[in-house]
Structure 1
Amino acid sequence: MEIPLVFFSQFNMCESKEKMFFKLVHGSGKEETSKEAKIRAKEKRNRLSLLVQKADLHGETIPNRSCPLAKETRISPDEAVKWGESFDKLLSHRDGLDAFTRFLKTEFSEENIEFWIACEDFKKSKEPQQIALKAKTIYEKFIQNDAPQEVNLDFHTKEVISGSISQPTLHSFDAAQSRVYQLMEQDSYKRFLKSEIYLHLLEGRPQRPTNLRRRSRSFTYNEFQDVKSDVSIWL
């Protein structure tokens, strides 16, 4: 006696579990199998895909309207004239130091002024733990070979600092700071006085943010964590 075989097309064993589950839940309604329904579903998927692609392409380029624009800083031409009298007058003024730093960024040599600022802050340290921690950070960031922001120092100066870094004093970086100061005064400062940044200040034009690729990340004492710093007065 032959046993009749019955086939259920809706339970195709070759289909994935997800498709079988979808059929069981939603059924095989005739309206879903019609050509019109398939075309509408395809159009919806295409529109959704385009919207997602546009969001991915423009998501990072659309400006945040709630973010305020950077403010322009106006400096008196008379004040800017004083900066041309001496390098010391330039660095002793907050806006002058900022303008000179922006200029060094255009030459990718900002590590010099950042080292000088770090040394000025270091000399204000009082606690032994603070002195040791800052000295180690300055040495690793600016002095040692292949430092991320290594400044140009002669071999003898670097050797002296390396030998005293285990027991630093407030004068450990005096020779190096003086050397970098002279380099900036005799070289970078002269070019700064001829730069567009300085000439625009003499004409009374506003300073604008300089958006340049940094060769090295800015020096900051935030890495000192609990150690208090006075570096803000120099920036």
Structure 2
Amino acid sequence: METTLLLCSQLNMCESKEKTFFKLIHGSGKEETSKEAKIRAKEKRNRLSLLVQKLEFHEDTHSSRWGHLAKETRVSPEEAVKWGESFEKLLSRRDGLEAFTRFLKTEFSEENIEFWIACEDFKKSKEPQQIHLKAKAIYEKFIQTDAPQEVNLDFHTKEVITKSITQPTLHCFDAAQSRVYQLMEQDSYTRFLKSDIYLDLIEGRPKRPTNLRRRSRSFTCNEFQDVKSDVAIWL
């Protein structure tokens, strides 16, 4: 009987030591719950703070973009009237270029102005690799037979470009660009001056929505890899 009591006492002592050891290592359940609650509360505050910052940043950026856009698209009738003085003046102004491009899209001939823009950007190239990559992209998009936005060029001009494209220079598209420029000046420009797009501008009327049956793939140098471009300033 005494032996049984002794064993029970030893078991109780072992159990008590184990509980004490467990508490020392892991802490009490209340302490653990309290720590977890504090951690969760801190994480929640951090998330809310980040969310507020993102919302404020988005709002500022959105307002800035819309303000910038509104400023860019506000063309005075006096400014628009100057575009009628010459085709050169029209293309020298960013708003004029944008309005003329919009007009060409209604006639499904925007490839002409996009080719001209691409050539202007190409002539700013400096590094040999940049010249080669841009020339190849322009040729494949606008010049070669069945190009996605093939411009209207005579056989001789296209042949000269085709022969020079393997070793292009900054002037390899000059003849073609001049030809397209003359075509736009003598044909499209005269119709633009009579179009609703231009008449609305010189009379100060709001821009009308334009319904198009196909979408233009505007020329950008994103089609090249590792090539920097200034073409964005034209559009």
The residue that corresponds to 1:90 in the other structure is 90
> 2:145 is matched with which residue?
145
For structure 1, the 5+ residue unaligned runs are 1-66
Contact 1:123 1:170 in 2 (8 A): yes
What TM-score do the two structures reach when normalised by structure 2?
0.68
Structural RMSD (CA): 1.9
1:208, distance to aligned residue in structure 2 (A): 4.8
- Displacement after TM superposition at 1:215 (Å): 5.5
User: Residue 199 of structure 2 aligns to a residue in which SS?
Assistant: helix
Over 3 Å counting, the alpha-carbon distance change for 1:118 and 1:209 in structure 2 is farther
Match of 2:191 in 1: 191
2:121–2:230 contact (8 Å) kept in structure 1? yes
- In structure 2, distance between residues paired with 1:101 and 1:165: 27
Aligned partner of 2:226 in structure 1 is 226
The amino acid across from 2:229 in the alignment is S
SS at match of 1:167: coil
1:99 aligns with 2:90: no
Aligned to 2:207: 207
Q: Write the distance in 2 (CA, Å) between the matches of 1:230 and 1:211.
A: 29
- Structure of higher RCO (CA pairs closer than 8 Å, 6+ residues apart): 1
Aligned length: 169
Distance of 1:108 and 1:138 partners within structure 2: 19
Write the distance in 2 (CA, Å) between the matches of 1:209 and 1:157. Answer: 37
Give 1:74's aligned residue. Answer: 74
User: What is the CA–CA distance in structure 1 between the aligned matches of 2:88 and 2:119, rounded to whole Å?
Assistant: 15
1:81-114 per-position Cα deviation (integer Å, ceiling 9, x unaligned): 1000000000000000000000000000000000
Q: Percent identity?
A: 86
Deviating above 6 A after TM superposition, structure 1's stretches of 4 or more consecutive aligned residues are none
Secondary structure of the corresponding residue to residue 109 of structure 2: coil
Distance 1:92 1:130 in 2: 25
Structure 2, unpaired ranges of 5+ = 1-61
8 A Cα contact 1:74 1:205, kept in partner = no
Higher share in helix = 2
TM-score normalized by the length of structure 1: 0.68
